Amino acid sequence: MMGFGRFRRRAVATAKTDVPGWRRPPIETGRSRLVAIGAGFLLLLTVMGGRLIELTLLRDGEEPRLTTRGLREPIERGDIVDRNGILLATNLKTSSLYANPRRILDAGEAARALAKVFPELDVAEVRARLAPDKSFVWVKRGLTPAEQQSVYRLGIPGLAFQSEYRRVYPHGRLAAHVLGFANVDNEGLAGVEKGLDGLLKPSVRDLTGPLTLSIDLRVQHVLTEELAAAVEAFSALGAAGLVTDIESGEVLAMVSLPDFDPNRPNAGVKDGLFNRATLGIYEMGSTFKTFTLAMALDSGAGSMASRYDATEPMKISRFVINDYHAKRRVLTMPEVYLYSSNIGAAKIALDVGTRRLQGYLRAFGQLDPIRLEIPEVGKPMSPTPTQWREINTVTVAFGHGVAVSPLQLAEGVAAVINGGVRMPSTLVKRPSDAPLAGRRVISADASRDMRYLMYLVVAKGTGSKAAVPGYNVGGKTGTAEKIGIGGYRAKALLSSFVGAFPINAPKYLVLVILDEPHGNAKSQGYATGGWTAAPAAGRVIARIGPLLGLSPGAPLVAEPDRPVLAASAAIGENRAPR
């Protein structure tokens, strides 16, 4: 009966709802509204929960952007590797802190809090930067994870993070002037980072892989270490050095000291960013005699049997040309090179003639800027054709009056001894199957004679301290006085040695230059190229020879038909290397 009563009351209630004007009781209306409100809250909580999951799990904890002004998609540059695939430059994903000052409640308090996280920031400067009339300002770029977490803990509204890529150089200073560096926006500013910026764009590197340089990091390390040791030993201002492949023109090592850390390019010494190897322009001294004798042998203006009177100083107009440790006798052409005679070189240049000398220097690449994959390339200095006088021809013969970069000198000397073909220098590894396109500058016979002369300089002449047992080194020393106010500075020297090994079939060229070295007890007080640069070059050759797969061989024996020095008794006498 009770169940029947409940059924009857429910039926009567249902029937009443069909009657016009009938209204639902308040309690039932309230129940319906509560259900609707509950459903709305459930939907809102679901949306908020989804958003929270997105922010905390899918966005790596990154805050939502407060504004899009000043932001852009992060740029990821292509990797750079050495010729053996060792990583030289890559990208590290990082975050940068920015702010919307209009949403910051107290700029002063925010500035003080940020300065505690970043002690290098100036509170007043940050306070001014957070002026409320702006909607976007960078606070700090390239944060570490710990710094980012510290900012999170501050809980300051109006701060947010932007994901970016930071350029990283794993080997620090090593090859700094080759690589250059990129700014906080990952744009190349120096070195190959700038010179080959287009090739490092993501769209290009995705198709071709990392950029492979010609640099061999092992050779780079050896050259850097030996140059640094020489700078310290002789209290020099700096140094420059190169190791190149004579056949291909590839640069295996390029060093300029002082250098810098590309990870922090502005934190080094004042001259650290200056690339002495390619941007520096110097008068190269007696190493230029290599070109003088090569052009004489090639043009027929002289031969290995030619003789030059160096008995007395040479007078040209009001100028007097002297020899360092003069022999004061007639010298053969090999002796002019062996004893580094300025007088002999000057007379050879006059026999060649000014116009032919200019033509050869241009062919050797000494009068025009060198082409390279980096922007730091110096413009050589020389007299204009209308300014060029006889005295210029004479002084250029022994490396004064024309200023070039060390890499220019290396490229030219390589052409002299590789068979006579000038190969353009490159910092990018050439494909193994790529044809080598060079330009012939002298004959193969003249090149062979110059190899013999360079061998004599190391075997018995001024470059003897560059000799390395079993590697048959040939080369030429150079010592030039630097130009100062009012003329040349007698005690401010640029001392150098340029050599190749094995000289009978040259494979690699080594150039060492020291800027204003000072003599020490080991050099008997001399600061010239034979005492300072030549020993450093010898140590480099001894260390890199095995790395490059060259085993020591038997000593070189002069060919029997090679002309013999006229004054053979003078060979091997005690002398101070120049």
> ∠291-295-298 over CA atoms, to 5°?
135
Residue 372 pLDDT level (bands cut at 50, 70, 90): very high
pLDDT at residue 41 tops 80: no
Greatest alpha-carbon pair distance for the chain in Å reads 149
H or E segment and range at residue 444? helix 444-460
Rounded distance between C-alpha atoms, residue 494 and residue 515, angstroms: 5
pLDDT for the residue 569: 32
Q: Which residue has the higher pLDDT, 138 or 280?
A: 280
> Tens digits of per-residue pLDDT, 419-445?
999 999 999 999 888 788 899 999 999
Q: What percent of the chain has pLDDT over 90?
A: 59
Domain boundaries, the chain: 62-68+92-102+135-168, 219-570
Closest CA to 499 of 527, 531, 467: 467
Task: For CA atoms 245, 370, 283, 302, give the dihedral sign.
Answer: positive
Average pLDDT over residues 379-407: 93
> Tens digits of per-residue pLDDT, 106-135?
888 888 999 889 998 998 888 888 887 778
> Tens digits of per-residue pLDDT, 235-250?
999 999 999 999 999 9
Task: Decide if 338 contacts 459 (C-beta within 8 A).
Answer: no
Name the residues annotated as catalytic: 286
Rounded distance between C-alpha atoms, residue 565 and residue 572, angstroms: 12
Q: Which residue has the higher pLDDT, 190 or 184?
A: 190
Average pLDDT over the chain reads 86
Residue 188 pLDDT level (bands cut at 50, 70, 90): very high
Beta strands in 416-486 (DSSP E): 421-422, 439-440, 474-484
Query: Under 8 Å CB-to-CB from 415, ≥6 apart: which residues?
Result: 364, 365, 421, 422, 423, 438, 441, 442
pLDDT for the residue 397: 95
Query: Under 8 Å CB-to-CB from 412, ≥6 apart: which residues?
Result: 290, 291, 364, 365, 366, 422
Average pLDDT over residues 485-490: 72
Residue 25 pLDDT level (bands cut at 50, 70, 90): low
The secondary structure of 343-405, three-state, reads HHHHHHHHHHCHHHHHHHHHHCCCCCCCCCCCCCCCCCECCCCCCCCHHHHHHHCCCCCCEEC
pLDDT for the residue 72: 54
Three-state DSSP at 426 gives strand
Rounded distance between C-alpha atoms, residue 136 and residue 470, angstroms: 66
Residue 486 pLDDT level (bands cut at 50, 70, 90): low
Residue 289 pLDDT level (bands cut at 50, 70, 90): very high
Instruction: Assign a CATH topology to domain 219-570.
Output: Beta-lactamase (3.40.710)
> Tens digits of per-residue pLDDT, 78-105?
999 999 999 999 998 888 888 888 888 8
